[in-house]
Each structure stands twice: as structure tokens, then as C-alpha cells.
Amino acid sequence: MHEAKKYKAKQKLVKGGFMSEEDNIIDGFQVNYRENLMGGIGQWQQGWWAYFTEEKMVAIRALANIVIPYENIRSIGKCRYMFLPVGISITFEHPESGDEVTEKFYMMKGKKWRQFLADKARIELS
């Protein structure tokens, strides 16, 4: 992501209350995510944005955005996207409710981003 795009994205995320002015965007790109419908049933949605900052991951979605502070991540693993094992599963403590939540994403260079998240969260990959 170019610096000009990072700057514009940061302004939007700060204005929306998703990140602080002191935080910085490391990278951002389009991802697909699994929208949970009922219980364990979900449907993959395409083409939304995820940003990795120094402090958190922010996924901008149609209905509800996801903000995952790295310190709240409990586990990171692989999951399936369609029939391919190329998704990232992130289990974390929701910042507001305190509930444990699992979200699933598909992004290019998934192995790199799983390791990045594990390093930031100071946990082992599952």
C-alpha cells in the first residue's frame, strides 16, 4: 500500500474511531470474510478492506466492522475458503463485550499475515 493511500485510509479510520492518531497503518488490502449467519453457519463475502496497524487489525465490512486489538487475540489458525485451506481464523476477546469471538478471513499471503498477527499478539500459531 502506497504512503498516500495509507494517509487517506488513516484519516478515515481515525475519523470513524477505529484507530488513534498515534497509531500507524502498516498495510491494507482487500479481503474476503466469513459472515456468521446463525450458530456455526456462515457465508463468505467478497471484496472488503482490512488494515493492519501497529496496534490492531481493522476489517471494514458492509454491516458491522471488526476491530481486533492484537493484545486480545487468543489463537490464530487456518480455515477453508471454499474448498481450499487458505483462510485465516482469528479467535479473540471482543473489546466491548468481553466475549470470545472467532472471525475468518481470506487474504493473499495468508502465511505471512498469520505470522505477523501471532508476533504482534505474542502467541504461537495453532
* Residue 18: inside a domain: no
Give residue-wise pLDDT tens across range 3-36. Answer: 999 999 999 999 999 999 999 999 998 887 666 6
Quote the pLDDT of residue 10: 95
Total domains in the fold of the chain: 1
Give whole-number Cα distances, 39 to 53, 56, 65, 73, 74, in Å: 30, 26, 19, 21, 20
CATH at 61: 2.30.29.30
Quote the pLDDT of residue 106: 85
Quote the pLDDT of residue 40: 57
Please tell me which residue, 1 or 21, carries the higher pLDDT value.
21
* Residue 89: inside a domain: yes
Residue 80 belongs to domain spanning: 3-13+24-121
* Residue 57: inside a domain: yes
Quote the pLDDT of residue 61: 77
34's CB contacts (< 8 A; 6+ apart) are 42, 43, 44, 45, 79, 87, 103, 104, 105
Quote the pLDDT of residue 43: 64
Give residue-wise pLDDT tens across range 67-126. Answer: 999 999 999 999 877 777 778 999 999 988 889 999 888 888 888 999 999 999 999 886
* Residue 65: inside a domain: yes
Give whole-number Cα distances, 42 to 48, 93, 101, 103, 114, in Å: 16, 20, 14, 10, 21
Q: Cα separation of 31 and 60, whole Å?
A: 10
